[in-house]
Amino acid sequence: MKLLLNGGGSTKELIITMTKLNEIMDHSKPILYVPLAMDESEHPYDSCYEWFQKQIVNVDVSNVEMPRTFEEFALKNFDDYSAIFIGGGNTYKLLKGIKDNDIFNKIIEYLNNNGIVIGCSAGAIIFGYDIDSCLAMDRNDVKLLDTKGFDILSGKSIFAHYTNSKTEEIHKKYTDYLSKYSITNEQVIALPEEDTIYINDNTIEFLGSRPYYEFREGVITMHNTIQLVPYTDEYYDFVYEVKKNAYKKYVEECWGKWDEEVQKEYFKKFIETYKNSAYIIKVDEQDVGFYNDEELEDGSYEVGNICIKPEFQGKGLGTMILKNKLEEHKNQDIRIQFFKQNPVGKLYERLGFVPNGETEFHYQMFRSRQCSKKI
């Protein structure tokens, strides 16, 4: 079972979700895109299809198919698809159509058969315990009586678009509703558009760049996903050890045996130079790594070090941070360099970087602002 439940984003908010999808999917099969939560009179499905094509521009997929009715959706052989993407709209309309057309159990069977489902907004909410968690946002015009969802999160419901409201008044309305709802009902996880819950069989990960919130018995708890906290000198030893772990093998391959005293002196000069543009990477208040950058005199932006502690590597944290920084500085030319032994160059190429010179021990790459606008 593999599920990616997104808080309702589009394009840049879906980057992390689509990157994960590209990692885990079977690229030989098409994706089934389901826009049926939308009211077609307001959002023609052809335009929904065009929207979805923009979301998968960096996903290696053979084809995309789209059912236009729940009846057509029900007739699909789900095993023919690498993944099913269920989009946003009205959550009650979506769940009613799925239940009335006997699609509910087909989705469960597909997931249990190693299928991949991506749920966005309404498409995520239906996988919680009960979709009445979204009643402050969606109207139940279809008069759905059985509002129980797939209950993938063992008794917890889901709310989408949280903290992305257009006005503070709307945000307060949602917060008040969820607080009261959680007193008499189940716990609710409120996702911003930038965050995704990744469920891989029995493991659950929260991916994203903004805090998500839990409502339980009227109490709100904020959970940070990834934070970049400005460096202070109390982190001096922590940053040294993280950098040492990341680069020791490359340093020894280039310059010979690691000399602790020489490296500590070098680090002292480094941190004095970059301390005002250096950050501690935190995940749920845990210190997991280090990042630094620099605004160059020619107006370009330089990505410096992205170093993650060993026990937190392999989770895509460094890639998430890099992609967020690329989006943040998309109106600038961006530079990066790395040790020649480091295989990370392929990732940088996929993100739009091109070779831009080299030193004895480093490759240098460049990503133009024009490239940033295209990607």
Q: 346 and 265 in one domain?
A: yes
What pLDDT does 224 receive?
A: 67
Last residue within a domain, chosen from 223, 240, 257: 223
Query: Could you tell me which residues are beta bridge partners of residue 358?
Result: 363
**pLDDT of 210 strictly over 90:** no
User: Residue 331: helix, strand or coil by DSSP?
Assistant: coil
Short-list 274, 163, 172, CA closest to 225 = 163
- Confidence grade of residue 161 (pLDDT, cut at 50, 70, 90): very high
Confidence band for 372, pLDDT divided at 50, 70 and 90: low
For the record, the structure tokens of 205 come out as 């990960």
* pLDDT score recorded for residue 221: 87
Q: What is the pLDDT of residue 314?
A: 79
Within this chain, do residues 172 and 88 fall inside the same structural domain, yes or no?
yes
Q: Is residue 96 domain-shared with residue 216, that is, in the same domain?
A: yes
Percent residues over pLDDT 70 in the chain: 98
Q: Which of 223, 257, 285 is the last residue of a domain?
A: 223
CA distances from 71 to 40, 99, 109 (A): 15, 11, 18
Q: How many domains does the chain have?
A: 2
Percent of the chain with pLDDT over 90: 82
58-62, 110-114, 143-147, 261-265: the lowest-pLDDT one? 58-62
- Asked if residue 81 lies in contact with residue 26, where contact means CB atoms within 8 angstroms, the answer is no
- 241 and 195: one domain? no
If you average pLDDT over each of 179-193, 195-209, 210-224, which comes out highest?
179-193
pLDDT at 87 over 90: yes
3-state class of 85 per DSSP? Answer: strand
pLDDT value of position 319: 87
Please give the residue range of the domain that contains residue 289.
228-374
Query: Residue 202: which CATH number?
Result: 3.40.50.880
Can you give the CATH number for the domain in which 349 is found?
Answer: 3.40.630.30
Considering the domain architecture, whether residues 205 and 278 belong to the same structural domain is answered as no
Compute the radius of gyration of the chain from its Cα atoms.
Answer: 23
**pLDDT score, position 218:** 94
Whether 233 and 201 share a structural domain: no
Residue 363 DSSP SS3: strand
Strand order, beta sheet including 188-190: 157-159, 188-190, 212-216, 219-223
- pLDDT score of 72: 98
Question: Are residues 211 and 246 located together in one domain of the fold?
Answer: no
The helix/strand/coil state of 294 is strand
For the segment 248-256, the average pLDDT, to the nearest whole number, is: 96
User: Contact 199/238 with Cβ under 8 angstroms?
Assistant: no
Q: Picking from 97-101, 181-185, 280-284, which range would have the lowest pLDDT averaged per residue? A: 280-284
252 and 181 fall within a common domain: no
Question: Do 268 and 368 have their domain in common?
Answer: yes
Same domain, 23 and 157: yes
Q: Are 218 and 328 within one domain?
A: no
The answer to whether residues 179 and 256 belong to one domain is no
Query: Of 223, 254, 271, at which residue does a domain stop?
Result: 223
Mean pLDDT of all residues in the chain? 93
